[in-house]
């Protein structure tokens, strides 16, 4: 752990990965897993999130109680700001007010299917939002090629989808040329390029990570795994796009977050790091596995649940296969995954089945009532 981190601005901290990250930094793993309680973080976090449909502060209730509003003002280490990352004046205020020295940027529109139906929000948040944060950081920190600071850092979270689609063999490395296909992945690719440009042109200290598909608690139930688990619970159909032969590489969310934390602490400025699960699954085979684990817990046989699989129209431009070569982060930073897939998938299935209220809240939008009851109606 080499960098001194005092005041971290986390964007998108109310979403799936960001809220797991904040819990992890404060030693509060969502599933109570001991192997994810060793962040050693001692500073303050400012969570900036505008709470789109995907942001849910319920994920951070314990953090708020133990480190936020629940403690004496002088001892407070967690602050929430309901702010849009495209709002330059507000982002400038936050940098000044909290004297931000580190940005860890998760906020994004993140669902491929939504990007196909409505790309504009993706360009706005993922491209313009990232630009706004970079530009405010550069000005506030006074960075230039002649003034490269080593006491500040901007870490950008990205995806393996920027590299495009693989055939049956091969892996994405950090030098694979970008070849994004969906509005989502192309907006993330744009933001990655702008991040790199700020390093090369203005000397802003940045690091960047590209990760494979995450799974675990707090994921909005529109993505494959939480959607399927919730539908199994409710006896609904399980919609598989096309033949279900597309391949994704799955990583447990807290293993991703530990990798991000290691990069932020010890990664080299100007470098990008691939993060992967080395755990490829065809969608249909993964679904069989989820059915095997979830069926007994909802009092149905796997054979019964298998009959609810329906093959639906394929996603346009559906990428065939993603797979990451993550040897760089392993070699340079000594990062290793701690969660086996067997264990992580069972934990995840159990978590969604045991947190029906969370799923129902976020799907119905009811969590918004919870937020206004607990936080008032901030703008
Ligand atoms: P998510 O959709 O669950 O959460 C996104 C969060 O960003 C939400 O809390 C939302 O309210 C907030 N947000 C959106 N627009 C905003 C704006 N304009 N201003 C402020 N806040 C805004 O997403 P996630 O799955 O947690 O993904 C987090 C990051 O990780 C994204 O950058 C995504 O591209 C990247 N990523 C995700 C995966 C994955 O499998 N989910 C894999 C690799 C990389
Ligand atoms: P998703 O969770 O949306 O992540 P991404 O598209 O970013 O990889 O989808 C994972 C895979 O599952 C992808 O190949 C699309 C497929 N899929 C289905 O077959 N059915 C569904 O209902 C969803 C949401 C996804």
Contact 328, 274 (CB under 8 A): yes
Give the pLDDT score at 131: 98
- CATH architecture, domain defined by 7-218+253-278+318-339: 3-Layer(aba) Sandwich (3.40)
The pTM score is: 0.96
Please identify which of the residues 90, 109, 160, 319 carries the catalytic annotation.
160
Please identify which of the residues 161, 254, 280, 319 carries the catalytic annotation.
161
Burial category of 315 from C-beta neighbours within 10 Å (exposed 0-12, middle 13-18, buried 19 and up):
middle
Give the pLDDT score at 370: 62
Q: Which residues pair with 321 in a beta bridge?
A: 247
Rounded (10°) CA dihedral 74, 76, 81, 85 = 100
Low-confidence ranges of the chain (pLDDT < 70): 1, 366-372, 374-379
Ligand 2 contact via 240 beta carbon (within 6 Å):
yes
Q: Tell me the CA–centroid distance for residue 223 and ligand 2, in Å.
A: 6
CA distance 196 to 191: 9
Sign of the C-alpha dihedral computed for residues 172, 112, 342 and 257 taken in this order:
positive
Q: What is the pLDDT of residues 292-338, one digit of tens each?
A: 999 999 999 999 999 999 999 999 999 999 999 999 999 999 999 99
Residue 222 known to be catalytic = no
Residue 160 known to be catalytic = yes
Pair of tokens at residue 51: 């709470």
**Ranges of each domain in the chain:** 7-218+253-278+318-339
Index of the ligand 1 atom closest to the CA of residue 84:
19
Q: Which residues line ligand 1 (CB under 6 A)?
A: 12, 14-18, 49-52, 54-55, 84-86, 106-110, 125, 129, 157, 159, 188, 211, 213-214, 220
Please identify which of the residues 98, 171, 184, 367 carries the catalytic annotation.
184
Index of the ligand 1 atom closest to the CA of residue 223:
41
CA 96 to chain centre: 26
Q: Tell me the CA–centroid distance for residue 271 and ligand 2, in Å.
A: 29
Pair of tokens at residue 141: 């920190």
Q: What is the pLDDT of residues 276-292, one digit of tens each?
A: 999 999 999 999 999 99
Ligand 2 contact via 44 beta carbon (within 6 Å):
no
Ligand 2 contact via 246 beta carbon (within 6 Å):
yes
Element (H, E) at 132: helix 130-141
Residue 53 known to be catalytic = no
Q: Tell me the CA–centroid distance for residue 33 and ligand 2, in Å.
A: 27
Cα-flanking dihedrals φ and ψ of residue 208, to 5°? -140, 140
Q: Tell me the CA–centroid distance for residue 145 and ligand 1, in Å.
A: 30
Give the pLDDT score at 85: 98
Pair of tokens at residue 312: 């639906």
Give the pLDDT score at 21: 98
Got the DSSP string for 2-39? -S---EEEEESTTSHHHHHHHHHHTT--TT--GGG---
Ligand 2 contact via 228 beta carbon (within 6 Å):
no
Give the pLDDT score at 78: 98
Q: Is 148 left (phi over 0), alpha (psi -120 to 50) or beta?
A: beta
Contact 126, 192 (CB under 8 A): no
């Amino acid at each position: 752990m080499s960098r001194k981190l005092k005041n971290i601005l986390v964007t998108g901290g109310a979403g799936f990965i960001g809220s797991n990250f904040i819990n992890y930094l404060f030693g509060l793993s969502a599933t109570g897993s001991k192997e994810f309680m060793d962040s050693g973080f001692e500073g303050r976090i400012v969570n900036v999130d505008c709470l789109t449909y995907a942001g849910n502060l319920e994920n951070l209730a314990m953090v708020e109680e133990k480190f936020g509003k629940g403690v004496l003002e002088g001892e407070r280490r967690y602050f929430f700001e309901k702010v849009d990352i495209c709002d330059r004046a507000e982002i400038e205020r936050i940098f000044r007010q909290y004297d931000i020295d580190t940005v860890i940027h998760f906020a994004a529109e993140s669902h491929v299917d939504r990007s196909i139906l409505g790309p504009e929000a993706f360009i706005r948040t993922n491209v313009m939002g990232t630009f706004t944060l970079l530009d405010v950081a550069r000005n506030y920190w006074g960075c230039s090629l002649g003034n490269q600071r080593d006491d500040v850092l901007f870490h950008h979270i990205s995806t393996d989808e920027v590299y495009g689609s693989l055939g049956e063999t091969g892996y994405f490395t950090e030098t694979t040329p970008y070849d994004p296909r969906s509005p989502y992945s192309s907006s993330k690719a744009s933001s990655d390029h702008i991040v790199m440009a700020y390093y090369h042109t203005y000397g802003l200290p940045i690091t960047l990570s590209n990760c494979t598909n995450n799974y675990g608690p707090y994921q909005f139930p529109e993505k494959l795994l939480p959607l399927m688990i919730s539908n199994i619970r409710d006896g609904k159909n399980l919609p598989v796009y096309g033949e279900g032969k597309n391949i994704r590489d799955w990583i447990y969310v807290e293993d991703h977050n530990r990798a991000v934390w290691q990069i932020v602490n010890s990664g080299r400025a100007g470098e990008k790091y691939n993060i992967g699960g080395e755990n490829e699954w065809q969608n249909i085979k993964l679904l069989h596995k989820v059915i095997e684990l979830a069926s007994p817990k909802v009092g149905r046989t796997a054979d019964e649940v298998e009959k609810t699989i329906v093959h639906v129209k394929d996603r346009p431009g559906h990428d065939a296969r993603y797979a990451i070569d993550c040897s760089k982060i392993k070699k340079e930073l000594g990062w290793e995954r701690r969660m086996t897939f067997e264990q992580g998938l069972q934990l995840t299935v159990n978590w969604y089945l045991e947190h029906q209220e969370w799923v129902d809240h976020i799907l119905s939008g009811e969590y918004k009532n919870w937020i206004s009851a607990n936080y008032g109606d901030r703008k």
